[in-house]
Structures are given as C-alpha cells and as structure tokens.
Amino acid sequence: MKTSRSVSIISLTVAVGLALTGCSLPVYVPLGSSPLISGDQGVDQTDRLASVSGSSMCVINNSTATMSILWQGYSDARDIPPGGQNCNSGYETGNKDDVSATISYVASDDAGKVHELHVAANNNWLWTPEASAMVYLPDDTRKGVCRPFTVGQTRFVETGLLRGEMTRINDSADNKEFEFILTDKVGDVVGEDC
C-alpha cells in the first residue's frame, strides 16, 4: 500500500511539474525513454521551443517609399531608406507580442500622404509561432497577414501602394525568425481578414 501511494504521489508531482513548466511529451513516449529526435513522427520540436526562444523580425524596404518604423518599447522611430532594413528581437510574456511596430511610409506617387502598416511576431509557448502585417481600413476592419507560420512559409499583404511578404526563415539559437520584405505595388488592398 505504501509503495503504491508513493508512486501515485510521484506521478502526480511529475505531471503537475510538466504542466507548470509548459513541457509535455507525446502520448506514445513512455517516461524514461530516450530523448525525442527530429525524425520522430507526429512531433514538430522546431515549433515548440518557445520556452527558450523569443521572436525576431527584419523589415526590408525594397520599395521606393520613404519609411520609418517605431518598435514597441522604443521612443523614437527609425528610418528605413529604400534598400535598407531594420530588425528587432524580443521576448514578452502574457498576451503581448514579442516584437511589434508601426511602419509609416509615404509612397512616391501619393502626394506626401502618410500611411501605416502594423507588424508583429509572437512565439507563444503553446502554439506555432505567429506573425502579422496589417493595414487598418476606414471601416475599422483590418486586412493583411495574421496567422501561424512554419519555417519557410510566406504570406503576403498588399496595402494599395506596397506589397509586403512575411516569411518565417530558419530559427536562430535565440529566436523564431521572420522577414518582412516591402516592394512597390499599386492596386487594391489585398489580404486576409484579421
């Protein structure tokens, strides 16, 4: 009786410990087995290392537009000239994005009017890493890219003046990495409902 109770208490302690740290094992892996390797079916460890990874995003201006970026947590906007880029990384807990920013731009053929595009990335410990790039429309709706990304996946948004391509690139040792490339593209606003 005493051994059975001890085993139950230890099992409960391990389960609670795993739940509190966000760690879990697939159902088919018994405790005490060798570590999982990347070839195991049904387990995508690359997307599940959030407890040790933040998010990083590089915004690359391959357009003719003059633009600046204001990252969350910074008091001053940074210029991103045509052909330039600006990157940031971070890690936030709770319901905040790891990195987020507002990109302000003036398209060369739009009479000096300032437009905005909002970008963010988040490596939530429970889900696949997410990134977004959105424009806010006059009717208070948002169009853009706003979903989880696997490595190598690209999605796009068109603002009516720019085309933005968000890609999740290979992870670094510290972050889930995203690249957002902006090019000229005049036309309609195109993107997912966000």
- The model's confidence at residue 163, banded by pLDDT at 50, 70 and 90, is very high
- The whole-model pTM stands at 0.72
The residue written with tokens 């990874």 in the block is 53
- What confidence score (pLDDT) does residue 111 get? 73
Cα(192)–Cα(59) distance, integer angstroms: 20
Average pLDDT over residues 40-66: 70
Average pLDDT over residues 26-33: 31
The per-residue DSSP string of 53-85 comes to -EEEEEEEE-SS-EEEEEETT-SS-EEE-TT-E
- The model's confidence at residue 194, banded by pLDDT at 50, 70 and 90, is confident
With beta carbons less than 8 A apart as the criterion, state whether 46 and 37 touch. Answer: no
Give the helix ranges, DSSP H, for the chain: 2-21
Average pLDDT over residues 63-85: 95
Average pLDDT over residues 82-93: 92
Average pLDDT over residues 148-175: 94
Please list, residue by residue across 109-145, b when 16 or more beta carbons sit within 10 angstroms of its beta carbon and e when fewer do.
eeeeeebebbbbbbbeeeebbbbbbbbeeeeeeebbb
- The bridge status of strand 54-61 relative to strand 78-80 is unpaired
Domains by residue range for the chain, with CATH: 1-43 (no CATH), 46-193 (2.60.270)
Q: Give strand pairing partners of 135.
A: 143
Q: Above 70 in pLDDT, residue 54? A: yes
